Structure 1
Amino acid sequence: MQTEQTLHKGKPILQVKNLQKYYPVRTSLGKTKAYIKAVEDMSFDIYEGETFGLVGESGCGKSTAGRTLLKLVEPTNGEVIYRDEDIFKLKKSSLKHVRKELQMIFQDPHTSLDPRKKVGYSIEESLAIHKIGSKQKRKSLALDILKKVGFNEEHYYRYPHEFSGGQRQRIGIARSLVLQPKLIICDEPVSALDVSIQAQIVNLLKSLQKELNLSYVFISHDLSVVRHIADKVGVMYLGNLVEQASTEELFSDPLHPYTKSLISAVPLLNPESKREKIAIQGEIPSPLNPPSGCVFHTRCPFAFERCKTEVPKNNHIHNKRTVKCHLYDE
């Protein structure tokens, strides 16, 4: 991981401001009766060469946030500023141009590849869509990218079913790299893989980041993986970004009760080491009917009366560290 001084040099490559994504719930007659608040008022910055980890329980809105950043799903509100342009306000032609620099690695490497097409075609497809190079040039670029992720020319002619899960994810990485992007959204890229393969993919992403000066949004529910790859971490709960800090700060001194409970559940390598366990009770509330006040108060061991009625503000602790919790109100 890079130093704070290196990471925060210059302007952010991506600024997310008050991002919201609501899904309408309609009656049988098509009338909207409620909204599922999948992402609520999310803000963070990513600098060039930096990895921003996004963690939380399944169903908290991580993947929805990642897809909304690239406008793969339409946002409800907010801004995503990439190189001084709001992605959400771009017309179709301008958005297509920007998407060359903003790519995505999907969670399931099996379903994200067309089983009827050879690997070479899948990698070259985006080059053809953007009208980059001749047919021979596109093949040359695809072969170069395959070599970067550990393959050789014979793999160019194979079909996805001829590869293991880890190999298919390498192909997914190659496909995201072929347009020479600046930022990649990694949506749970190792969750479907064995632990030993996870380490290989994470190390590959880190080496590619260093070689190509890439920025990542790394989405995962596995804090151990995020700790290994991320420079900063945002913790999500029920659509809300409840805490944001550098990786070192977050793991050494978590502030939000939800973050504390997540980190206390991470197994320690040394069996003799002890860590205070902070248990949270009950199930995650429905996003269709979230709790009033602080969304975490129904499961929080430190909740008090104010938490039940008042939404906590985003408290700035120092520098880029923030936490949404009444325990830290000034």
Structure 2
Amino acid sequence: MQIVVPEFMEEDILRAGLPGCGITYDPGLVERREDLLACLGGADAIIVRNRTRVDAALLEKAPKLRAVGRLGVGLDNIDLQACKARGIAVFPASGANDISVAEYVISSAMVLLRGIHAMPSRLADGDWARAALMNGREISGKRLGLIGFGSIARETAVRALALGMEVSAFDPHLAAEGPHWRLKSGQVQPEALEAVLAGCDVLSLHVPLTAATRHMVDAAALGRMKPDAIVINAARGGVIDEAALAEALRAGRLGGAALDVFETEPPPQADTARFAGLGNVILTPHIAGLSRESNLRVSEVTVRSVRNHLQGEAL
């Protein structure tokens, strides 16, 4: 069996988990589309992150493909309908990086509420700036608003409740009554989207990018939020209108923002330049779900799913 892996993963786990397979592991292959397509003629499986487009053009070059492993949970880079039509199984690493993303959200919220993330460089330049940070805010007693209440949002809520936050969430796919709102560290309040936006001190997005969710947090939605609220997007770029967010931050209509995902990745300089000079913004290159621990878990889950599927078909 032939496996192609065009993005980085834990190579030891890959090779140990798929013994006897021919493995093409080249983390730079995602940058060389034509070379990638040329590798797929005999491939039984491909394992990708979020940058490889598993689209009709790729599938056409992979006539033997039987499985797609996704080193993560977002599937917007994979043509699911085309895979289904071909009988190709798709395996996201569901749950494997939930903790990492949840910790990113909480740590970003704490840093932005206190206003301290830019302080090391300011001190290194000789700026004591103590007065500027004397009114930083505690996370305890604040309200976290979640848009979407899947597994990552729930891990985030568990940590927020343990820190003394109140938590509300909007998820149109969940009934307003049920055990899913009761977590080990407390109760989450289901609310309408408008109520979540208006009432939260920290807003965290946890929805996939679809036609319905694209720019669901736009200028109008941002305008309904508290003027000192924090916005965090570690879900998918495009769920929030980045231009509207930058304008609201620059006008002082929001307290801060953390973006780990962008509408275009890597984003053009013109897009990131919108946030230049703002001291209340954290920008990171789609790494919220990446940590030493989650990288191991994601690789293990994905390799196991692909191996089990290929072996099951071979029986």
Task: Specify if TM > 0.5.
Answer: no
Larger relative strand fraction: 1
